[in-house]
Amino acid sequence: MTSKSDNDIDPASTEVEYASPEAGPKDASSLARLAAQQEHHLSFLEAVRRYPKAVLWSVLLSSSIIMEGYDIVLIQSFFAQPSFRDKYGEYDPGTDSHQITAPWQNGLSNAVSIGTIIGAFANGYFVHKFGYRKVLLTSLVFISAFIFISFFSPSLPVLLVGQFLCGIPWGMFATMAPAYASEVCPLALRGYLTVYVNLCWAFGQLISAGVQSGFSGRSGQWSYRIPFAIQWAWPVLLFPILWFAPESPWHYVRAGKYEKAEASVDRLGSAMQRAHTKETVAMMIHTNEIEKSIDDGTSYLDCFRGIDLRRTEIACMAFAAQPFCGSAMGGTPTYFFLQAGLPESISFRMSVGGLGIASVGTILAWFLMRLYGRRTLYLWGLGLLAAILCTVGFCSVGSDSTGSNYAQAGLMIAWLGVYYTTVGPICYAVITEVSSTRLRNKSVCLSRIAYYIAQIVCNSINPEMLNPTAGNWRGKTGFFWGGSSAVFFLWTFFRLPETRGKTFEELDILFANGVGARRFADCEVDAYVEGADAVRNHE
């Protein structure tokens, strides 16, 4: 790392010219080093003051995630809504009511996941070619059209098609938002804005639970068609606003369009930050050149070659842990509360309360992440989730009383609080920081695809255990998800590195040198020193 004397340099007074391919290596390195120093010594408040527009545009683009979070809870909650079950379900003599059978629950849940896999994969290709802004605006147009199918669906097969098609743009939003957030903001804001993506997901789920609670007591088709129609609110509001969004400067650097990268950085920063634009772009160019020297490829196959294979593994496993740590059971809690024996009205209200706690948990994660880092929160979050889920299982085995049912519901609300304070939000910071800048969008897409595949598996398993027409395990389902959480706890301990406080070029060097996951936090990196001296342990 640079010495304290280096920090006394005033970047505004430097006479070094802009680092272009024609500039000398010394000039380019000097500019990049100055930008790296600023990144490390920029406080949170100063970063907000210097990059207010970056914060604004990242927040606005991430708001598109609200739609996916809204629908995930919506379709799962419909399984517990009497009007929806009467319209689309089959009569079950055992419960003397109409039920959406386990195969159709799987089909509707997994149709979205399959669509999102296609969308995520396409996003990795189109964003690299056309940039974030154009792909985002096109996706907003398509989602507006696809919502019509779900809204007017006369049968489950048509509804399944509608959910599949909606999943395609949702997959694009889900992979675009964290990558964009990590690229438009400085190091001091990177964790906050990437984690904000999860807060949008929680907001979407909270809004959906609130809408469902409001309509749960109503009868007739509008009790489920109006919640579908509310989805139009986001694309209608976001499209005219995001038309003016700036493109990521990293996209222009990867394309060799340095002047456009400068213009983009100017748009993201305040007037005082514009004096440092050339230095910021020089650091991006320096990082890009480091990665090109390691591996010049930018295809999906390159994510599985050389050192990028390890980075892809970490991103994919970190995201796949989310469904396997119990979110299929606790992430959409209304149906579980109903199967645990709670009345319908109370189940919907407890879901609203639980998802409200989830929103608060994501905000709390901002502060805990700054104190303890990504690895610690993610690791111990998985440990706590495993303990909670196993306790739910023991409560279900020990008693079938009303008290036991409420205890299980209370524990699942605690699960929501822990999940949305640790594993849920921290994952978004991890996936954007472990990937290389040249492969970031594709790496994020692959990690999200891993999440969706895991979600398909979990959404297929969970109804077979929980549904009263299938396994009817009720709370004992917690044993299964508690065990899978423990498996990912072990993976995290050995494989997940600490990325807090490291610039992208420093992370490139740590991975290139094969530094072990548990040593990342103890290593200092100087990205402007050649050879083994670039990495050293803290003394």
pTM of the model: 0.79
Burial class of residue 490 (count of CB atoms within 10 Å of its CB; 0-12, 13-18, 19+): exposed
Other Cβ atoms closer than 10 A to 513 = 14
Q: In angstroms, what CA-CA distances link 329 with 203, 204, 366, 393, 455?
A: 19, 18, 25, 12, 11
State the Cα–Cα distance between residues 354 and 85, nearest whole angstrom: 24
Element (H, E) at 92: strand 90-92
Q: What is the pLDDT of residues 95-153, one digit of tens each?
A: 666 777 777 877 877 788 889 899 988 988 898 889 999 999 999 999 999 999 988 88
pLDDT in tens, the chain (539 residues): 333 333 333 333 333 344 444 444 446 677 777 767 777 777 888 888 888 898 999 999 988 888 877 877 777 777 777 777 777 777 766 666 677 777 787 787 778 888 989 998 898 889 888 999 999 999 999 999 999 998 888 888 888 898 899 889 988 988 898 889 888 888 888 888 888 888 888 788 778 777 877 776 677 778 778 888 888 988 889 999 999 999 999 889 988 888 898 899 889 888 777 778 888 888 888 888 887 877 767 788 888 988 899 999 999 999 999 999 988 776 566 666 666 566 666 666 666 676 677 778 888 988 898 888 899 999 999 999 999 999 988 887 766 667 777 787 788 888 888 998 999 889 988 998 898 888 888 898 999 899 889 988 887 887 777 766 666 677 788 899 999 999 999 999 999 999 888 888 888 888 988 888 888 888 887 766 665 556 666 54
Q: In angstroms, what CA-CA distances link 360 with 357, 370, 380, 407?
A: 5, 16, 19, 22
